[in-house]
Structure 1
Amino acid sequence: MKTTPRHKNSDDSVLSRYEDIIQSMEQSVASNSENYRAWCVTVVAAILLGAVYNNQLTYTFVAVLPVFLSALMDGYYVALRVILKQYQKSRATPDEWELKDVANELSSAMSRVKILQLDNLAAPAIRRFYSPILVLLVLCQITAFFNGK
């Protein structure tokens, strides 16, 4: 007769519930990241449109602030998402689950991410999205300089 390995906590529904919670947290973090990117594009486009409409391209430097703030928050969410994925992979085998430690481990892992960590900005997902926006703003400044406006 085969015996199935017992988990430290034999309630499989609780284990699947924790997996669902972690998955929903990851989806929420990804959604927040997408929202910051969408708002960044919207705000930068509005600033550029206002500068072009008023023929004041020198004021496009103002658009750097929302780009930087959005990149900072997006970097925070990207770092959170990486931590959640690492945590989920480290808990791939249900035998390692001990439910009383799950919340403590996850909260301590997430507390390592700081909003103002500038190394989050070095993530490839952040660089690939925000670098072209910054290049566009620099080109606008160069254009304004050579046009004398």
Structure 2
Amino acid sequence: MSENLTISVTEESPSVQAHLAMLQDVIQRMASNSSSCKSWCITLVSAVLVIVADKGKPDYAWIALLPAVIFACSDAYYFALEKGFRETYNKFIEKLHSKSLISSDLYAIKPQGEMSKHQIDAIKSISIWGFYIPLVLMTYITKTISIG
């Protein structure tokens, strides 16, 4: 079968259902990874601040910013991938309804769109900066008020 031939499948087709299920699983995994980034970040930042407070070395509180920055970047990356896979899912559905699917559409599971645009959108998202900016501010407040 040629790559450019339009194929005739319906929404109930097992191959279509399997493809959609795989895309949904990938999207769910990216969302789960994003959630895990936030959980691990809170855990590590808290642990660093507790150790710094216990040792009485307030200048080392800035070390807590390192996991915040690393996890913010990872979180934005997973969020960008999730956006790309959502775009893939939506384009697949559009092609399915317009009966313009080609055989390679059923076998390609990769994020659609420009990943650099998705990453910029992810960084601008409130789910990223709305979590990590307050965490950085709380680290600063903890360093200046509580620790010294």
TM-score (norm 2): 0.78
SS in 1 for 2:59: helix
SS in 2 for 1:109: coil
Structure 1 pair 122/32, CA: closer, same or farther in 2 (3 Å)? same
Instruction: Give 1:137 deviation, angstroms.
Output: 1.4
2:64 maps to a residue whose letter is A
Once residues 34 and 18 of structure 2 are traced to their aligned partners in structure 1, the CA distance between those partners, rounded to angstroms, is 24
Q: Counterpart in 2 of 1:127? A: 129
Output the aligned Cα RMSD: 2.5
| Structure-to-structure mapping, 1:1-149, within 5 angstroms | 8-10=7-9, 12-93=13-94, 94=96, 95-104=99-108, 106-107=109-110, 109=112, 112-113=114-115, 120-143=122-145, 147=148
SS in 1 for 2:115: coil
Paired residues of 1:57 and 1:144 also in contact (CA < 8 A): no
SS in 2 for 1:14: helix
1:40 maps to a residue whose letter is C
Identity between Structure 1 and Structure 2 (%): 21
Q: Deviations over 1:76-116 (max 9, x none)?
A: 00011111112222222422332313544x53637x436xx
Q: Deviations over 1:36-87 (max 9, x none)?
A: 1111111000001001111222211001111000000100000111111122
1:96 maps to a residue whose letter is S
**Number of aligned residues:** 136
TM-score (norm 1): 0.78
Unaligned 5+ segments in structure 1 are 1-6
Once residues 104 and 77 of structure 2 are traced to their aligned partners in structure 1, the CA distance between those partners, rounded to angstroms, is 27
Once residues 37 and 78 of structure 1 are traced to their aligned partners in structure 2, the CA distance between those partners, rounded to angstroms, is 12
